[in-house]
Structure 1
């Protein structure tokens, strides 16, 4: 059985922050002994406990392993890109050489042929000679001047095929040369991204450079280069089918546009690293531009600052209260920011601001690239040194990776880490208890995102059970309005203990603090009935753990828990006597469709009987199986349980037949509740 009743994080009510103190005070007034001195850990105590959880050697080992793994991945990635670039450069050089040989011949088609001009001149001379007439004593030429002028003024027009041929071949040459030049850029960027072997600082720098390579899509540029060469080859082949008239205005315009785009890209990838520290488009040209700008800016500031001080002092002497010159004052007396750092110093400043992020992404990158679950178990070791928001990001990074890798329709049981993920989630939630923004909507959303990885593993260790019980119980007490915490605590107390793990006194005290408010609050409604029966189930489980001797308690602690259990059972006994079933059926179905009240009433016994058997009858049978449990649960109590269910049958006599197509019934205990009550009654005999 599972409970799904988390309140929407967007509709939470204000939480009474004195709840924990009220529960502790009320419990201490009704009990004595060891329990009087027990209390929840304070924020400072939790922080101290978490900071001492792992040694410095463990942290160093985590960073060493993750840094080595990221180094291998980084080296493989950069090496693969370098090999691709080397191959592309060879092909680009060959392609450019071939294209040049053809272009040298094709562009001449765009110019007038000299032999055509000679032939035109001979034709003109022949025409003039033919027009001569001899009439003594004169020789007269009869050729018209307009004809000669028309012949001389006839313009040259390149044939269309020549224009298209040169257009395609010149474009192909531009693409080929551009791909070769961009390949050289990428080679420079990869060279600039190379990091040495020193451990901590170089590991962070390597992760910082890797984040930049991925963020700025260097891989996409590497992929685009062969596409450009393929396009160049395609254009060349198409150009073989046509002829281009070179030096044509259309050719010049289109070729210039292509060249302009390439030049704009060249400027962009050269300037971006100057302004963006994490931009991986680094090249010697970018370094030179940055050095010039840095020198110019520093020299300008050295001149401006003394001048601003003089102006500000002179103005302040004459006028008092000068808000108009605040900016001038800031410029004149700015300290520590007048000098722009070097190329490497700028990187170090950015790294210092992102130490937590880089350490977190180093571990998550190691996990995402290797799927080695040991990196999941490493994350809690780093949590004490990370900012709170980075702890939440670890969980979100894993979720994002799993969604991207496997999608939403995969069986999560095939991808879950049986030990690392649940423990990581619990450590993250422990750190959530130390945050100062508790009970806010953002805090609840962060808890909710971590809960995705918090499940009951198949193999339960004592350490996991203890931490899960303490964490979820404290969250449920400190923020009772968010029902998700209670649901998770219920799952741990019911499914993690009772043969799989064993309670300690500390875990039982956490469970008691969580159950006390739930057992004392009751309003007649279906949701309240679910919540109350779940609390009863946890109560009976805790009493059974103590009465059976499975819990690790000394005699005084055992007596304290059993005394509390006996008192809680007496209150439960009274609640069963007073329970009024009428009206509890409203909204008992999980459906957004408005249903008739009669459907709720007819279906309610099927659903309520399931909870009654699971949360009350079965745990009582288990508790009555021990001698001390029989002392705690009297025959009168069993009779009251039977009477309570008899009252339910009187309140709802017409239960829907589950064999009659009852599509609304999603769980039913009517087929076994009488048998289970008979087993419970048999424990008395």
Structure 2
């Protein structure tokens, strides 16, 4: 039976193997901050921005930008070079094919018109008919044929149907062949215009802009269609071999003219589109000429209109009566005449204007394209270096681009397994930095902010491995994020449990203070009316409290003596608060929502198994671990243990176990078989404590 447990939501089930990764530069252990003052508060957005900006040097940022730009340059140049080679090959084939086809068409079109010998044959036939009608007698020649009526009437010429179809196919083939060659010339011009030289950042943005245009305007699709046109031309040519010749015929002319009109329309469209859209990659000298004429006409025409308006406005000022009646209209006319008007930019200036308007999008695309075209994780690990150089709204879009690429490349269902097999540190660290940048935004708490940060958070997961840097940054970031949005409390809880408890990361006072603040918010949010979710989250909050106390008691955390005393004093006070909370605990209704399936009866039956498991792993086991440590036993009172035991007894009465032994297999990791023994072990440990 499925249990609505969100503990393992961030860790895919198949993550059995971990992969080696070289993250020495990005995952170096951060030095602890020595702070003898236990007073603490969350950093302000300005402090977070200052921290993020100072984290990486200018040289590190420039290195990332240079590597990303170089990768995009390599991809762009290879793409353009490959398309150029294809066009060269196509032009050679199209030229040879068109030459051969023209030779056939020169002969075939004659079948569509009368032959030059047809009139001679008709005349000889007429003379023969007249001679055969003569009657010769002495002194007299008589003809029995009426001379006014021709002996043979020539029927009008009709081209054979086979000749019509033959010439239609062959001339259509010739049109397709010439079309492919002509479009190939256009493509070579477009590719020449798309070439960008240099490695500077501005050149990288222009190169990315050109590359985006090539992809957006489907130049690759056109390159792919051209060989298809040639293949179609070959098919038509072979089909025409089975029919007779064609020549100047109305049907043929209509079909050929239609194809030529379509071709001309296509040429005109791809020539005009770059004039209207600056990111269109169908650039050619003809497009540039049209744009230059249009720019001159528009600018000069607007200047002349404004000059005329100036004259009209000055003239109108002499007529006070007219001015008083139409003052508003003349005022608008004067403003239009004298204000600085916007000239239409040049061919290159228009591109620079678009680059300026989409500066953030292009910068983001440089780093994401570098990863998506190479799948090299070094670009993924270096993205946090330049996050501070991007506009705040571009950071979540980086992760949106990454997710779209990964989902397309690997598929939605295989994505978690692939991430865990490839690298369990790089993407979580990158996502953690991304979330931290979201915490520095001024619109924190709005719906837009929540949506943006969720786009980043879905890239975060806890793998089998972590580093001190990842653990520290993830703890501070996710605890702060959980305070802003309690929906991600489970993610922060899992981070503490996995990275610090199981993988051995060491706490600093700053990380413990973040966990402490998250605990306070979650404990204050206890609401029995929310049922299972509130019970689960509060149990996990108690675990966070015990986790902080254990980290302070263990001596393994990076704390000064004053910080340790402050943390233990706070922990002892909160343990009393937990004791009071357990003392007034009401179990009724807490089973609602504990299963992922509907049905109250099933939830009532399953809840004791689930609740006991949560009590063991979030309260009882951590208390046993704490009591087993030097100095920890003094913090756990016998009254607290007695309260826990009494609370569980009340739960057993509220939810009696009705499941028989045969149905026991449906409960995954039930705590009913262990909770009594674990409670006895805890009582034994606390019972040995001196009063």
Q: TM-score, normalised by structure 2?
A: 0.89
Q: Mark the CA change 1:289 to 1:437 in structure 2 (over 3 Å): closer, same or farther.
A: same
Task: Give the drift of 1:177.
Answer: 0.6
CA distance in structure 2 between the partners assigned to 1:572 and 1:661 by the alignment: 32
Equivalent residue for 1:375?
A: 379
Q: Moved runs in structure 1, 4+ residues, more than 6 A?
A: 134-138
What does the per-residue CA deviation read over 1:68-120, in whole Å, with 9 as the maximum and x for residues that have no partner? 11111111111111111111111101100110010000000001011122111
Equivalent residue for 2:33?
A: none
Is structure 2 residue 129 aligned with structure 1 residue 124?
no
1:3-402 maps to which residues of 2 (within 5 A)? 3=7, 34-36=37-39, 38-132=40-134, 142-143=145-146, 145=148, 147=150, 151-152=153-154, 154-315=155-316, 318-319=323-324, 322-324=327-329, 328-329=333-334, 331-335=336-340, 337=342, 339-402=343-406
Q: Mark the CA change 1:175 to 1:35 in structure 2 (over 3 Å): closer, same or farther.
A: same
The correspondence for 2:630, drawn from 627, 631, 644, is 627
Q: Contact 2:475/2:515 (CA < 8 Å) preserved in 1?
A: yes
CA distance in structure 1 between the partners assigned to 2:505 and 2:539 by the alignment: 23
Instruction: Say how many residue pairs are matched.
Output: 648
Choose 400-409 or 372-381, whichever is displaced more.
Answer: 372-381
The correspondence for 1:646, drawn from 646, 649, 657, is 649
CA distance in structure 2 between the partners assigned to 1:679 and 1:144 by the alignment: 138
CA distance in structure 1 between the partners assigned to 2:650 and 2:58 by the alignment: 62
Equivalent residue for 2:533?
A: 527
Q: Contact 2:480/2:514 (CA < 8 Å) preserved in 1?
A: yes
Task: Give the drift of 1:361.
Answer: 0.7
CA distance in structure 1 between the partners assigned to 2:168 and 2:102 by the alignment: 13
Equivalent residue for 1:598?
A: 601
Task: Give the drift of 1:325.
Answer: 5.9
What does the per-residue CA deviation read over 1:203-241, in whole Å, with 9 as the maximum and x for residues that have no partner? 111111111111111111111111111111111111111
The correspondence for 1:438, drawn from 434, 439, 444, is 444
What does the per-residue CA deviation read over 1:306-351, in whole Å, with 9 as the maximum and x for residues that have no partner? 22233345456614785546764564244261x2222111111111
Is structure 2 residue 419 aligned with structure 1 residue 419?
no
The correspondence for 1:615, drawn from 610, 613, 618, is 618
What does the per-residue CA deviation read over 1:490-527, in whole Å, with 9 as the maximum and x for residues that have no partner? 12222221352111111111111111122234322222
The correspondence for 2:485, drawn from 479, 484, 487, is 479
Q: Contact 1:656/1:662 (CA < 8 Å) preserved in 2?
A: no
Q: Contact 2:69/2:199 (CA < 8 Å) preserved in 1?
A: no
Equivalent residue for 1:679?
A: 681
Q: Contact 1:270/1:286 (CA < 8 Å) preserved in 2?
A: yes
Task: Give the drift of 1:286.
Answer: 0.8
What does the per-residue CA deviation read over 1:227-273, in whole Å, with 9 as the maximum and x for residues that have no partner? 11111111111111111432222211111111111111100111111
CA distance in structure 1 between the partners assigned to 2:478 and 2:327 by the alignment: 57
CA distance in structure 1 between the partners assigned to 2:331 and 2:447 by the alignment: 39
What does the per-residue CA deviation read over 1:655-681, in whole Å, with 9 as the maximum and x for residues that have no partner? 423642665x45521122223223323
CA distance in structure 1 between the partners assigned to 2:515 and 2:509 by the alignment: 10
Q: Contact 2:583/2:647 (CA < 8 Å) preserved in 1?
A: yes
Gaps of 5+ in 2: 11-35
Gaps of 5+ in 1: 7-32
CA distance in structure 2 between the partners assigned to 1:100 and 1:326 by the alignment: 68
CA distance in structure 1 between the partners assigned to 2:661 and 2:444 by the alignment: 46
Q: Contact 2:110/2:245 (CA < 8 Å) preserved in 1?
A: no
Q: Mark the CA change 1:382 to 1:145 in structure 2 (over 3 Å): closer, same or farther.
A: farther
CA distance in structure 1 between the partners assigned to 2:592 and 2:299 by the alignment: 75
Q: Contact 2:424/2:466 (CA < 8 Å) preserved in 1?
A: no
Q: Mark the CA change 1:230 to 1:54 in structure 2 (over 3 Å): closer, same or farther.
A: same
Task: Give the drift of 1:415.
Answer: 3.0
Q: Mark the CA change 1:165 to 1:218 in structure 2 (over 3 Å): closer, same or farther.
A: same
Q: TM-score, normalised by structure 1?
A: 0.90
Q: Contact 1:604/1:655 (CA < 8 Å) preserved in 2?
A: no
User: Which of 1 and 2 has higher RCO (CA within 8 Å, sep 6+)?
Assistant: 2
CA distance in structure 2 between the partners assigned to 1:666 and 1:644 by the alignment: 23
Q: Contact 2:209/2:279 (CA < 8 Å) preserved in 1?
A: yes
Equivalent residue for 2:25?
A: none
Choose 452-461 or 359-368, whichever is displaced more.
Answer: 452-461
CA distance in structure 2 between the partners assigned to 1:145 and 1:534 by the alignment: 120
What does the per-residue CA deviation read over 1:100-144, in whole Å, with 9 as the maximum and x for residues that have no partner? 010000000001011122111211222233345679778656337
CA distance in structure 2 between the partners assigned to 1:541 and 1:56 by the alignment: 39
The correspondence for 2:543, drawn from 537, 544, 558, is 537
What does the per-residue CA deviation read over 1:593-632, in whole Å, with 9 as the maximum and x for residues that have no partner? 3x1x433222210111111111111111111121221111
CA distance in structure 1 between the partners assigned to 2:66 and 2:545 by the alignment: 46
Equivalent residue for 2:19?
A: none
Choose 521-530 or 423-432, whichever is displaced more.
Answer: 521-530
CA distance in structure 2 between the partners assigned to 1:545 and 1:453 by the alignment: 28
